[in-house]
Structures are given as structure tokens and as C-alpha cells.
């Protein structure tokens, strides 16, 4: 049991380490924006250094302590995912599901490190942030260039903003995205064991009740 726990949490740790190494390399070796852009596969896959001040796709809570609230929420989510992974390991859940949850946990922590520390380490907190702590911006670098342009004003939250069809992302984002895709694609296989266990519960309860009835006075 202990080895199983260590194995899956080690997957999370490897995601965090890989994510942070790439972010450090990008920060210290690339210029931000199009000036430092590096073409990998033609014009459609590039390295493009930018920072994300808020949530996914550049969205944010637009008030003084919005970023702090978001970071605290991420901490709570990280703890919840960690406990969920541990509980799944104890239940003997599908290996594929355990790997996916470990990837999600690693990705969540990877971006959380940026939010907590990068405002201090890299001085990249927004100029109007009340404190550099917990206000760091997430470093993104992988860019699939499908479409860029201004979104219509009627779109909630992002309307009127200039953005790419596929957002710039990092290893932590990719880890979460891939894991979620696999969970959706293989959910019947991943959650089959839990469904089987639930379907057995009424049968077991009926059997136990019948055994109790047999031992009641007058039923022997």
C-alpha cells in the first residue's frame, strides 16, 4: 500500500519538477512576447514566453484581492485532489484513473508554485498587486498558432479582448488537459470497479439481514 501511494505521488512530483524546470529555462533565456518567439514546427507550433495573471485562457477576478482569492482556492483544490488520489489508491482504483489524478495534482501544484512565489522570485506580480506574495503570474510558453484576433464584445468575460484561438500553455496545463481528456474518454473503464462495488452493496446487505433473521428467536 505504501509503495502504491509513493508511486502515484511520485508521478505528481515529476510533473511539478519538469514544469518548473521548463519555466525557469524560459524565464532566464527568452524575451517575453513576439520578440523572443521561437519557431518549433513552422508557424503553427512555437515557444512564446508570456505570463498569465489569472485563470485559464487569461480570465481573472477583476478586483484588488481577486488573485489572492484565486490562489487560496487553488490551495484548497490541491489539498482536495491529494486526498482524493489517496482515497482512490486505498480503494484499489483503476491504474489509468490513478495516473490521471496524479497528473492533475502535479499540474495544479505546478501552477500554484507560480502564483505563490513568482511575484517575489521573478518580480512578475501585476503593478497594482497589494503584495508580491500570492500574486505571481503563471509562466506559459507553448503556443499552437491556429487563429488570433479580437473577440466580439458580447462574449462574457473575454469579449473585446485580443486572444489566440488556442491559448499559450505550459507543462502543468498540458498535464491537466491530457488527464481530463483520458478520464472523459475512458470513464466507463476507470469507474467500472466503483460501479460494480456499489451494485454489490444491496446484495450483501440483503444477505446479512437474512442471516440476522435466521438467528432471531422463533425463526430457528
213 as an active site residue: the answer is no
The pTM score is 0.79
Catalytic residue among 31, 123, 140, 153: 140
Short-list 140, 134, 136, 132, CA closest to 163: 140
* All three cell numbers of 146: 491556429
145 as an active site residue: the answer is no
CA distances 144 to 11, 46, 70, 108, 113, Å, are 26, 7, 26, 22, 24
Which residues have a Cβ under 8 Å from the Cβ of 54 and sit 6 or more positions away?
Answer: 60, 61, 66, 67, 70
Q: Which pLDDT tens digits describe the chain residue by residue (220 residues)?
A: 778 899 999 999 999 999 999 999 999 999 998 788 999 988 889 999 999 876 554 455 555 566 778 888 889 999 999 999 999 999 999 999 999 999 999 999 999 999 999 999 999 988 878 889 998 999 999 998 877 777 778 877 667 776 666 778 999 999 999 999 999 999 999 987 666 655 555 554 555 555 555 555 555 5
Catalytic residue among 123, 173, 197, 213: 173
Amino acid at each position: 500500500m505504501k509503495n502504491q501511494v509513493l508511486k502515484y505521488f511520485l508521478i505528481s512530483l515529476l510533473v511539478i519538477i519538469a514544469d518548473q524546470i521548463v519555466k525557469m529555462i524560459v524565464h532566464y533565456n527568452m524575451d517575453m512576447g513576439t520578440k523572443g518567439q521561437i519557431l518549433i514546427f513552422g508557424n503553427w507550433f512555437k515557444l512564446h514566453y508570456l505570463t498569465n495573471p489569472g485563470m485559464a485562457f487569461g480570465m481573472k477576478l477583476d478586483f484588488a484581492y481577486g488573485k489572492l482569492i484565486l490562489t487560496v482556492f487553488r490551495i484548497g483544490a490541491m489539498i482536495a485532489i491529494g486526498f482524493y488520489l489517496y482515497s482512490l489508491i486505498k480503494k484499489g482504483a483503476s491504474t489509468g484513473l490513478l495516473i490521471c489524478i496524479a497528473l492533475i495534482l502535479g499540474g495544479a501544484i505546478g501552477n500554484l508554485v507560480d502564483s505563490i512565489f513568482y511575484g517575489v522570485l521573478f518580480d512578475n506580480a501585476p503593478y497594482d498587486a497589494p503584495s508580491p506574495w500570492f500574486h505571481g503570474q503563471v509562466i506559459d510558453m507553448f503556443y499552437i498558432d491556429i487563429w488570433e484576433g479580437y473577440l466580439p464584445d458580447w462574449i462574457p468575460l473575454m469579449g473585446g479582448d485580443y486572444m489566440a484561438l488556442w491559448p499559450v500553455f505550459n507543462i502543468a496545463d498540458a498535464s491537466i488537459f491530457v488527464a481530463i481528456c483520458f478520464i472523459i474518454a475512458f470513464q466507463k473503464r476507470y469507474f467500472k470497479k466503483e460501479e460494480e462495488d456499489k451494485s454489490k452493496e444491496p446484495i450483501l446487505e440483503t444477505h446479512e439481514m437474512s442471516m440476522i433473521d435466521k438467528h432471531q428467536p422463533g425463526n430457528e
